[in-house]
Amino acid sequence: MTEPDSTARTQYAQRVERRIRFLQTLKDAGLGLYLPADEQARQHSFDQLARMTARQRELPQLSADDLSKAAEAFRTHIDAMQGVLPHDVQYKNRIRRNW
């Protein structure tokens, strides 16, 4: 009994989900990731994280929409982690949110 081969998109989505669960574990432990102060640099970091999560052989099979959805998922979870960072780091990041 063999399992059907997963497509590159499904494997990528599963890998992104595992990374997000890891980020949630870090947040639950009271840890956060420092983000650059510049919004463009932040977006570039999320886009790069989404691309680096894909394997090289998967990249041609992934659409820009797949990568942007993954980047947005990473953004959502990493932004939520900013509340555990010290207030001076949040101020330096120019993050004006009510955690």
Summarised one tens digit per residue, pLDDT across range 18-72 is 999 999 999 999 998 888 878 899 999 999 999 999 999 999 999 999 999 999 9
DSSP string across the chain: --PPPPPHHHHHHHHHHHHHHHHHHHHHTT------SSHHHHHHHHHHHHHHHS-TTTGGGS-HHHHHHHHHHHHHHHHHHGGGS-HHHHHHTT-----
The model carries a pTM of: 0.80
pLDDT over threshold 90, residue 4: no
- Measured in degrees and rounded to the nearest 5, phi and psi for residue 30 equal 85, 20
pLDDT at 90: 56
